[in-house]
Amino acid sequence: MTLRVLLADDHAVFRAGVRALLERETDLDVTAEASTGPETLEALARSAVDVLLLDISLPGGLSGPQVAEAALVACPHLAIVVLTMHDDEYYLREMLQVGVRAYVTKKSDASDVVRAVRLAAQGSHFVDRALVSHVVDSYVGRPTSPKHGRLKTLSRRETDVCRLLAMGYTNAEVGGRLSISRRTVDSHRANIMAKLSLRNRAEVVRFAIDNGLMRT
């Protein structure tokens, strides 16, 4: 199935580069472009789109979070991927709270942008690895927040899987790094989410940071 992408960024040259990147993939098609917040919402109203690839800093009087909120009201099943120059936790938190599924910086590898689009379309979450590292740095030297012993409910293997998932690795990549099958990773992931009462990858990242897993 081909995923239809709306590309929203105010720099025409950058849009052209991203379009070329995405359309090298046989399953991705940029069906519309927009350069402002209002144009983005108008394009969504006109076009059938699966994924919105959205810059945070759009002109036109609507902020990135406002565009994302309005887009999800109009299209509740829309997958939104943020592609931005902002690599700080504030924007990450704000956009994830709105309902964005993936957050990638413009310094990311091209493969991460493609992966984020595909994962978001599948209903999964993706957080830029560089941003995860940036967030971890802000916690170094601080006492971790107690989580009522929930970390102790994980087995050693589940802890390893949790840490790698929080770092942005896919299930298949986690399996390769731990020398276990993807099916086993799927099972560990399901157990982790159930034991820790987590709903998505963003919450896995937060749990891993709060419990010091990213520094081990």
pLDDT at 134: 52
132: pLDDT strictly greater than 50: yes
Task: Out of 27-36, 81-90, 190-199, give the one with best mean pLDDT.
Answer: 27-36
Beta-carbon count within 10 A of 136 CB: 18
Rounded CA separation 77/121 (Å): 9
Residues 184-204: what's their mean pLDDT? Answer: 87
**Inter-residue contact 32 to 19 (CB < 8 Å):** no
Task: Report helix angle 89-98 to 129-137, nearest 10.
Answer: 120
Measured CA distances, 127 to 8, 88, 92, 130 (Å): 19, 12, 9, 9
149: pLDDT strictly greater than 70: no
Q: What confidence category does residue 65 fall into, taking pLDDT thresholds of 50, 70 and 90?
A: confident
Residues 177-206: what's their mean pLDDT? Answer: 88
Could you say which DSSP state residue 199 is in? -
Instruction: Tell me the CATH number for domain 144-215.
Output: 1.10.10.10
Write down the mean pLDDT value for the chain. 86
**DSSP codes, 78-135:** -EEEEEES--SHHHHHHHHHHT--EEEETTS-HHHHHHHHHHHHTT--EE-HHHHHHH
Q: What ranges do the domains of the chain cover? A: 3-135, 144-215
Q: What confidence category does residue 214 fall into, taking pLDDT thresholds of 50, 70 and 90?
A: low
In Å, how far from its chain's centre is CA 38? Answer: 23
Q: What is the value of pTM for the model shown?
A: 0.65
CATH number among 3.40.50.2300, 3.30.930.10, 3.30.70.1230, 1.10.340.30, domain 3-135: 3.40.50.2300
pLDDT tens-digit profile of 70-125? 999 889 899 999 999 888 777 887 888 888 999 999 988 899 999 999 999 998 88
